[in-house]
């Protein structure tokens, strides 16, 4: 089953302001200006089960509750086919086409792809009959700065941009993770990104180019390394994306309660972005206890904690004039986790972050989202 998405706009009306001096309402206080929101709002089409019903529900909800659709494609790269300009594996083409078929013609798109392996330590696997297949020769001996890698990725990006016609294109999902894991290889990635970005900018001058940064605990070794070394990559792009899941990837105590977030958990992006606009490329918060013994994770959280985080997120995004906010999953994906995902401990981290629980019962955060969404943009 393919993962799908969509979105739609909601509008509100503005009030008029009474004018003083001579009008019939002279002397009365003016009506307050309407409350607005600074940023667009959207979701990925991550389904809650491997069924047509689940996919259709998610797309319908995205259409009703979002300004745009976020196609986040992190399944690898069809390296040889992209290099040669030949047809992709039927499984790859089916995934791409299903997303296109389910994206409304009148909705804008944020498209994100990745040249990184799932653990963000090296080159992405091959996207063929299955996602992220192990690389075979000669690809397993190539690195980011290999001419063949740069050419194949540029071709793949060009094809997807031409087909999806996105407003925003992220050419490196969580590129900062490679920096933290392997600085020497990250520097080779900067060479790669420079050539890819230059080629795409020449062909698509109106496209908003992005990379995304995975935020860390402020003041941590990882956060300091990102701020010190990511500058050359930031110089290449138009918008700095944020990937942030503080309930699991930050270091503070009692991480399930957003009241305990560090004061500058979000504002730290200002030093990284260096004046560039920002956008929340992906985020979420658990609404239930998170236990992943293999990673030593045990975080208590509630549905109200999730709603509180969303309110905090919106306030921070508004303060920094973010261009958009993407919430990862609309619905808890317990059914998908039990079946297609094989109870993956990694996927467990995000399983219970939906605005609906696994039985499609709405959570308080859904109301928080909708109230924000209904504000005039």
Residue 13 has pLDDT above 90, yes or no: no
Between 14 and 376, residue with greater pLDDT: 376
pLDDT value of position 105: 74
Residue 308 has pLDDT above 80, yes or no: yes
Band of residue 113 on the pLDDT scale cut at 50, 70, 90: very high
Strand-strand pairing, 208-214 and 108-113: unpaired
The pTM assigned to this predicted structure is 0.89
Please provide residue 110's backbone torsions phi and psi, each rounded to the nearest 5 degrees.
-105, 120
In this prediction, residues 95-124 reach a mean pLDDT of 94
The CA-to-CA distance between both ends of the chain, in Å, stands at 34
Residue 173 has pLDDT above 80, yes or no: yes
Going from the N-terminus, what domains does the chain have, and what CATH number goes with each? 40-373 (3.20.20.80)
Give the range among 15-24, 213-222, 241-250, 292-301 with minimum mean pLDDT.
Answer: 15-24
pLDDT value of position 186: 97
In this prediction, residues 235-261 reach a mean pLDDT of 97
**Bond from prior residue into 138 cis (ω within 30 degrees of 0):** yes
Residue 170 has pLDDT above 80, yes or no: yes
pLDDT value of position 107: 84
pLDDT tens column, 18-34: 233 333 343 444 555 55
In this prediction, residues 166-188 reach a mean pLDDT of 98
The string of DSSP codes covering 169-184 is EESSTTHHHHHHH-HH
pLDDT value of position 18: 29
Q: Do 305 and 353 touch, CB atoms closer than 8 A? A: no
The string of DSSP codes covering 79-121 is HHHHHHTPPPPHHHHHHHHHHHHHS-TTSEEEEEE-SB-TTSS
Question: How far apart are the C-alpha atoms of 233 and 230, rounded to whole Å?
Answer: 6
In this prediction, residues 64-78 reach a mean pLDDT of 96
Please provide residue 222's backbone torsions phi and psi, each rounded to the nearest 5 degrees.
-65, -45
Q: Do 353 and 306 touch, CB atoms closer than 8 A? A: yes
In this prediction, residues 163-179 reach a mean pLDDT of 98
pLDDT value of position 31: 53
Question: How far apart are the C-alpha atoms of 88 and 370, rounded to whole Å?
Answer: 39
Please provide residue 163's backbone torsions phi and psi, each rounded to the nearest 5 degrees.
-85, -40
In this prediction, residues 342-348 reach a mean pLDDT of 97
pLDDT value of position 10: 28
Looking at the chain, the whole-number percentage of residues with pLDDT higher than 90 is 89
In this prediction, residues 5-23 reach a mean pLDDT of 30
Which pair of tokens denotes residue 133?
Answer: 């297949």
pLDDT value of position 106: 79
For 202, the 3-state DSSP assignment is: helix
Q: Comparing C-alpha atoms, which of 271, 70, 83, 283 is closest to residue 170?
A: 70
Residue 1 has pLDDT above 80, yes or no: no
Residue 249 has pLDDT above 50, yes or no: yes
Question: How far apart are the C-alpha atoms of 361 and 219, rounded to whole Å?
Answer: 39
Ranges of H-type helices in 204-252: 221-229, 231-234, 246-249
pLDDT value of position 32: 56
Geometric angle at alpha carbon 124, from 121 and 126, rounded to 5°: 150
pLDDT value of position 293: 97
In this prediction, residues 321-338 reach a mean pLDDT of 98
Q: Do 47 and 55 touch, CB atoms closer than 8 A? A: yes
């Amino acid at each position: 089953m393919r993962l799908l998405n969509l979105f739609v706009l909601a509008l509100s009306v503005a009030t008029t302001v009474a004018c003083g001096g001579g009008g019939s309402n002279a002397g009365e206080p003016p009506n307050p200006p309407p409350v607005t929101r600074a940023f667009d709002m959207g979701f990925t089409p991550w389904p809650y089960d491997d069924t047509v019903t689940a996919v259709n529900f998610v797309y319908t909800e995205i259409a009703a509750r979002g300004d745009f659709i976020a196609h986040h494609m992190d399944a690898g790269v069809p390296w040889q086919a992209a290099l040669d300009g030949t047809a992709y594996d039927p499984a790859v083409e089916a995934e791409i086409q299903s997303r296109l078929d389910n994206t409304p013609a009148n909705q804008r798109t944020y498209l994100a792809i990745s040249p990184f392996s799932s653990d963000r330590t090296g080159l992405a696997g091959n996207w063929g009959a299955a996602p992220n297949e192990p690389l075979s020769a000669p690809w397993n001996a190539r690195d980011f700065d290999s001419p063949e890698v740069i050419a194949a990725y540029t071709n793949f990006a060009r094809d997807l941009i031409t087909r999806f016609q996105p407003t925003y294109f992220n050419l490196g999902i969580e590129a900062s993770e490679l920096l933290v894991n392997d600085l020497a290889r990250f520097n080779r990635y900067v060479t790669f990104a420079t050539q890819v970005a230059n080629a795409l900018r020449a062909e698509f001058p109106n496209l908003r180019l992005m990379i995304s940064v995975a935020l860390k605990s402020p003041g941590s070794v990882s956060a300091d390394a990102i701020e010190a070394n990511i500058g050359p990559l930031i110089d290449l792009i138009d918008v700095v994306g944020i990937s942030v899941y503080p309930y699991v990837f930050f270091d503070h105590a009692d991480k399930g309660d957003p009241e305990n977030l560090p004061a500058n958990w979000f504002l730290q992006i200002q030093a990284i972005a260096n004046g560039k606009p920002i956008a929340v490329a992906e985020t979420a918060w658990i609404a239930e206890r998170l236990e992943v013994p293999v990673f030593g994770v045990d975080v208590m959280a509630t549905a109200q904690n999730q709603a509180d985080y969303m309110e905090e997120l919106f306030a921070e995004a508004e303060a920094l004039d973010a261009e958009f906010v993407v919430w990862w999953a609309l619905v808890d994906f317990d059914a998908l986790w039990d079946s297609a995902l094989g109870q993956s401990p990694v996927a467990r981290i995000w399983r219970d972050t939906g605005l609906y629980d696994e039985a499609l019962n709405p959570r308080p955060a859904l109301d928080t989202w909708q109230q924000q969404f209904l504000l005039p943009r």
